[in-house]
Chain A
Amino acid sequence: MTEVAALPLVARRRALTRALRRNPLLLSGALIAFLLVVVAVFAPLIAPHPADAGTATNPIESLLPPSWHHLFGTDAVGRDLLSRVVFGARISLRIAGLVLASSILIGVPLGLAAGYFGGWIDSVIMRVTDVFLAFPALLLSLALAAVLTPSVGNATIAIAVTWWPWYARLARGQAASVAGRPFIEGARALGVPPVRTLLRHVLPNSITPVIVQASLDVGGIILTAAALSFLGLGAQDPTPEWGLMVSQGQSYFTTQWWLVTFPGAAILVAALAFNLLGDGLREVLDPRRIERR
């Protein structure tokens, strides 16, 4: 893993374009992930009935099967399911983005400091991290979400709390191995101060596995968020959250199949796409697969 960083960004970028052409799974993962982001960003333009993602109801049109007018059908209060699934991408990706951003912002600096400085700094930071890792992540998220008022924001917090320690641990391992490499001694011999050594020399050479992990984690976070909402501990009606939509459609499953099928498929596709992307990235950035020049 450490040798990944030995490649300059240019070489990595070139390797990436090459790999995209060669690896159809990575390509499809990247394409779908990109599409999801586009859908999320332009949701109001893409959704045929944007108002249905909010508080609007049309009782007359309730529980209509998929048709040309409502491609995904309508739900129990007559809201267009396609519009809600489209807006759901926004919510899921926003949760994933926020959880990853906070995990990386908290976990990576702590991990880098622990790995690079070692000693008591390492012990303190990693013991705190271990406390969080001692509980099963989903269980801790559930407990936290149950204590907080159920909402998208609180679900995000509940997930982030259990997510950052993994990044601290990953960054620590990377930093510790980078700290032993000769150019760190070289930087010290040039009089580079410790914090700058950490930011300019350790960080850029430790970040690749973090990027891979982040892309792999998007799927997991979307699943966890959906699970919390499904259990009623996350998003609340009328928020068009995929997990919540599945839970609302559950009782209609035998008669109105589209209520659970389309949001469920959205969860599946999103989780799958980011997993393919992350797996592909890991392979691309694996040093054994990159030709040395």
Chain B
Amino acid sequence: MKLAIRDLEIGFGDRRVVELAELDVAAGEIVGLVGESGSGKSITALAVLGLAEAAGARVTGSIELDGRELIGAPPSQLREIRGSRIAMIFQHPVSAFNPVFRVGEIFLRALRLHGASRAKAVERARSALAEVLLPYELLNRYPHQLSGGQAQRVAVALAVALRAEVLIADEATSALDVTVQAEIVELLARLRELEGIAILFISHDLAVVGQLCDRVAVMREGRIVETGRTERVLHAPQDPYTRELIAAVPRITAGRTA
């Protein structure tokens, strides 16, 4: 198993916000983590990156990457893993980049931070951009000169360039408009095929999750209430909360008159 989470507990003070018994993501697999806002999805993502403690949380349990325990690992090792092995993309892609650096500098700095030579970094940035179907000239732009969709592609390309094995997408399509959303979904699916990357796709958007994910885990108040193959969970939900969640998705009915 690429990423294996067991008995993960995350708390702030006396309040326990996540009690996650089991969640696995295999290489080449896309697992959706769905649930309403505040259900503990994002803090779980931060915990996987080893950043939950920095946000003031207490984390216990086990998170293994290729069988290697991440909880309790020294900060310097976690820093090496972050970016290079586990990458993350965010809800607001434009503001997730430092506005003072051009896209090219962002690639160079990130790649060199993780040990690539300058020449190697340039070459990897070039091929990664090609892989996400972005023109090479984009490297000369500043983040604010990119559209939301372009910026999210750049973020994905950065993960590709860094040879990340696990990609955590935290509401990565939620702030994009529907057509761009579809492009990113397609891109992530392609990436899984080409790179065999393991993707933990955190979202509250069941439609997108239904298109993209192999398996789905439904989270409520920090616990996973239901998990299984995407079709099964979305078409024959067992848990009442899942049913509620699915019922809440608005459907477009054709031919309706106002």
Contacts and interface: CB of A to CB of B under 8 A. Distances in A.
Interface string B28-55: 0000000000000000000001010010
- For B54, B90, B98, B144, which residue has the most chain A Cβ atoms within 10 angstroms? B98
Contact of B100 (A181, A186, A191, A204): A204
A189 B95 contact: no
Contacts of A8: 99-100, 102, 142, 144
A222 B43 CA distance: 52
B82 A191 contact: yes
A182 B96 contact: yes
B99 A205 contact: yes
Nearest to A187: B98
A292 B144 CA distance: 9
Given A193-B79, A293-B145, A188 B97 contact: no
A5 B99 contact: yes
Given A186-B90, A191-B113, A7 B96 contact: no
Interface string A187-213: 111111100000011001100000000
A205 B100 CA distance: 7
Q: How large is the interface on B (under 10, 10 to 19, 20 to 34, 35 or more residues)?
A: 20 to 34
**A interface, over-half SS:** helix
Size class of A's contact patch? Answer: 20 to 34
A11 B80 CA distance: 34
B81 A191 contact: yes
Contacts, number: 74
Interface string A249-293: 000000000000000000000000000000000000000000011
Interface in A146-190: 181-183, 185-190
Interface string A57-81: 0000000000000000000000000
The interface residues of chain B, by DSSP majority, are classed as helix
Nearest to A192: B113
Nearest to A10: B142
A139 interface: no
Given A8-B100, A183-B97, A189 B145 contact: no
Contact of B80 (A189, A191, A292): A191
B13 to A, nearest CB: 15
Contacts of B81: 191
Contacts of A181: 95
B100 A9 contact: yes
A6 interface: yes
B88 A189 contact: yes
Contact of A191 (B84, B97, B144, B158): B84
Interface of B: 49, 51, 54, 78-84, 87-88, 90, 92, 95-100, 102, 109-110, 113-114, 142, 144-145, 158, 162
19 contacts: A5-B100, A6-B144, A7-B144, A8-B100, A182-B90, A183-B95, A186-B88, A186-B96, A187-B98, A188-B49, A188-B51, A189-B51, A189-B83, A190-B87, A190-B110, A190-B113, A192-B79, A205-B98, A293-B145
